[in-house]
Structure 1
Amino acid sequence: MTTTLPHFEPFSPDAVAHPGGALAEGALALGSDGYTVLSYELATAVLRDGRFKNAALTLMEEFGITDGPVHEFRANSMLRAEGPRHLKLRMPLARFMGPATVENIRGVLREIIQDLAADLDPSAPVDFHGAVDQRLPARVYCHLAGAPAEDAPKVASLSERTLSLLNRDPSQTPTIISAYAELFAYLKALVASKRAQGLGEDMLSFLIGQHDAGKLTEDELFNEAAAMLEASSVNTTHQTGLVVWTLLSDREIWQRLVKDPSLIPDAVVEVLRLYPRPGIVSKIAGEDIELNGTVVPAGSDVHVAVWSANRDPARFENPSEFVLGRERNQPLTFSTGSHNCLGQGLARVEMEEVVAYLVKRFPNAVVHEDDTEIGQLGGRWLVQSLAVDLRP
């Protein structure tokens, strides 16, 4: 059965004018870039359906990356694995990145944030995005991976340049290839150093131990380590900026957090719902699949509009409003199903601790609008700049 679908362009600058949820004609739309899923219910179904494959490899091929180390890495990555192989690749990192690790890192996070914020001059508006948001995730990665803290700028740069693929700009192909070459060389040297000096309690040592125990091949070890590095920084950087921007801009909500910091985790989740950094998750139909009364042919591009699903009035009451303590608040920002984001717990804790630092140290902080720019590119929310007046 096939129905006539409404037209929708998910990567158009005007796409976010849609308030969220299904269109009047239905939850599935069709445009020049393929199909778009708009409702929370249908988005959840697609993200949990293993017949829809990650689209990053196809996007690389469209950019002309059809062979070589970068193509091989993506083709064999955990993102594209399903079934027993996916479970084999995911379980070691899921075990290492479990709730205990995430909670135990709060003390380290506070130390890193204090260190990053030490040079902030509260006498004038500060570049909070550059000073804290852009530097924190890479420092955390270095701690978790057992890399030198001074490698953090390189880690941040590698994450940003490799994942620039998702900007959907083919002119960036040389940058992407060069960045992956640097990433592979950096990781090979880091793994070799750990093997030479002896393993520790860090993530890379854990993966090496899994290899030495016969649970991962050398290629699987390297691919997992590379995947964690590429995903380590850039998305959390922008999402943290979106959290700080949103909460400081709503003075009523901010004062509630100042009075009761225990509300911070709920506040972070609500920002994740309203302003998801991964605005669109792109998939490829692995076979003919019926969606909402329409047969989507094998090989079709299917784009899950996370920002629309997160504002679906059929799932969230008053979806465009910031509601602190919203019940059943489970946005799709970190995806869902077997391919949900492995680092989501850590990312949330990072954001919570940044907000907690501001609440405690600078309770009167406000966004300096003249030097702040928030936008979208390729369906993703971007923080171009975020200036904060710490003591207005």
Structure 2
Amino acid sequence: MTTTLPHFEPFSPDALAHRGGALAEGPVALGSAGYTILNFELATTVLRDSRFQNAALKLMEDFGITDGPVHEFRAHSLLMAEGRRHLRLRTPLARFMGPATVENIRGILREIIQDLAAALDPSAPVDFHGGIDQRLPARVYCYLAGAPVEDAAKVARLSERTLSLLNRDPSLTPVIVAAYDELFAYLRDLVARKRAQGLGEDMLSFLIAQHDAGKLSEEELFNEAAAMLEASSVNTTHQTGLVVWTLLRDREVWQRLVEDPALIPAAMVEVLRLYPRPGVVSRIATEDVELNGTVIPAGSDVHVAVWSANRDPARFENPAEFVLERERNQPLTFSTGSHNCLGQGLAKVEMEEVVRYLVEHFPNTVVVEEGTDIGQAGGRWLVKSLTVDLKP
């Protein structure tokens, strides 16, 4: 059975103005970009259903990247793998990025944040986005990958430029292809240096060891390393800014965090629910699939509106409100199912420690609104600038 569907454009400039959850006509909509899933229950179903394949390769092809090294990388990447191959490729990274690694890195995180914060001048409003948000994830990547700390600025640029693909602006194709070419060259050099100098305890050494043990091919080693680098910085950069921006603007919540830092993880998850950086997760139906009475034809684009699912009143009471003690608070910001975000544990800890640093060292910090610009692009929230006064 197929019903008449309401119209919805998930990538339009005003898409995020939708309050969340199903439309009056139902949770499935149709527009020029394909089908959109708007409520929490059906979004969860789609993200966990292997009949819906990651759309990352098709997005590249829509940009005119239909062959060459960049296309080959994406076609054979972990994102596009399914079944046994997906499990085989994901398992080593999942082990390395597990809870033990994440908890062990807290001390390192605090050192990095203190080092970055030392360059800020608290006597005047500071560029928090440029000084902390944009620099921290790349520094963490360099630590985890065993790369020189001096490479952090390059890592941040490569992550931002390659994943500008998600802005869905085809005019960026030359920038994206050039960025991937630079990323590939950088990684080849880094892998060669590690092999020459001897392996360590870092993530890249771990992947090289997996290859040497016959568990990864040379192509798989390179593709996994490239995937980790491209995803290393830009999304965490913006999500960290969104967390800080949201919490500092709610002075009642901020004061509670100052008085009880143990509440920081719960506060951060609530921001992730309200302002999810991913925005939209796109899939392609590999066969005809019925969803809520609508048959989605094979080959159709299906977009999960994460921000809408996270504000679904059928799943979250008072969904537009910030509720620190919200129960069953498991938003879809990091997706769900077999393709959930591998780095989500690390990203959460990074954000927690940034907030903790401010709570402990600058508890009176406020947002400087005239120096702050939070926007939207490609169905996603982004931080254009974030200025704060550390000692108002």
TM-score grouping bracket, smaller chain normalisation:
over 0.9
Counterpart residue type for residue 232 of structure 1 = S
- Displacement, 1:18? 1.2
Deviations 1:58-116 (A, max 9, x none): 11111110000000000001111110000000000000000000000000000000000
Per mean C-alpha deviation after superposition, the further-off stretch among 119-128 and 100-109 is 119-128
Distance 2:127 2:50 in 1: 42
Partner of 1:8: 8
Q: Does 1:356 align with 2:356?
A: yes
1:108-147 matched pairs, under 5 angstroms: 108-147=108-147
Distance 2:16 2:130 in 1: 26
Deviations 1:115-156 (A, max 9, x none): 000011111110000000000000000000000000000000
Deviations 1:219-252 (A, max 9, x none): 0000000000000000000000000000000000
Number of positions where the alignment pairs a residue of Structure 1 with one of Structure 2: 392
Counterpart residue type for residue 122 of structure 2 = P
Q: Does 1:152 align with 2:159?
A: no
Counterpart residue type for residue 37 of structure 2 = V
1:190-209 matched pairs, under 5 angstroms: 190-209=190-209
- Displacement, 1:287? 1.1
Partner of 2:270: 270
SS in 2 for 1:330: coil
Counterpart residue type for residue 129 of structure 1 = H
- Displacement, 1:16? 1.7
SS in 2 for 1:382: strand
Counterpart residue type for residue 174 of structure 2 = P
Partner of 2:338: 338
Unaligned ranges ≥5, structure 1: none
Distance 1:14 1:182 in 2: 34
Q: Does 1:311 align with 2:311?
A: yes
Partner of 1:57: 57
Distance 2:56 2:98 in 1: 26
Distance 2:27 2:130 in 1: 38
Partner of 1:30: 30
Deviations 1:280-309 (A, max 9, x none): 011111111111111111111100000000
Partner of 1:287: 287
Q: Does 1:216 align with 2:243?
A: no
Counterpart residue type for residue 93 of structure 2 = L
Counterpart residue type for residue 284 of structure 1 = I
- Displacement, 1:44? 0.2
- Displacement, 1:17? 1.9
- Displacement, 1:339? 0.1
Partner of 1:74: 74
Distance 2:19 2:286 in 1: 30
Distance 2:227 2:164 in 1: 14
Counterpart residue type for residue 145 of structure 1 = A
What RMSD, in angstroms, separates the aligned Cα atoms of the two structures? 0.5
Partner of 1:183: 183
Distance 1:259 1:249 in 2: 17
Distance 1:382 1:110 in 2: 25
Percent of residue pairs identical? 84
- Displacement, 1:325? 2.0
1:90-101 matched pairs, under 5 angstroms: 90-101=90-101
- Displacement, 1:56? 1.2
SS in 2 for 1:66: coil
Distance 1:109 1:90 in 2: 25
Counterpart residue type for residue 295 of structure 1 = V
Counterpart residue type for residue 215 of structure 2 = K
1:233-244 matched pairs, under 5 angstroms: 233-244=233-244
- Displacement, 1:14? 1.6
Partner of 2:257: 257
- Displacement, 1:15? 1.3
SS in 2 for 1:116: helix
Distance 2:141 2:150 in 1: 12
Per mean C-alpha deviation after superposition, the further-off stretch among 343-352 and 280-289 is 280-289
Partner of 2:347: 347
TM-score relative to the length of structure 2: 1.00
Partner of 1:227: 227
Distance 2:258 2:389 in 1: 16
Counterpart residue type for residue 206 of structure 2 = F
SS in 2 for 1:318: coil
SS in 1 for 2:53: strand
Unaligned ranges ≥5, structure 2: none
Per mean C-alpha deviation after superposition, the further-off stretch among 148-157 and 285-294 is 285-294
Distance 1:284 1:118 in 2: 46
Counterpart residue type for residue 368 of structure 1 = V
Distance 1:286 1:161 in 2: 29
Q: Does 1:166 align with 2:166?
A: yes
Distance 1:230 1:223 in 2: 10
SS in 1 for 2:315: coil
Distance 2:145 2:121 in 1: 31
Displacement over 4 Å in runs of 4+: none
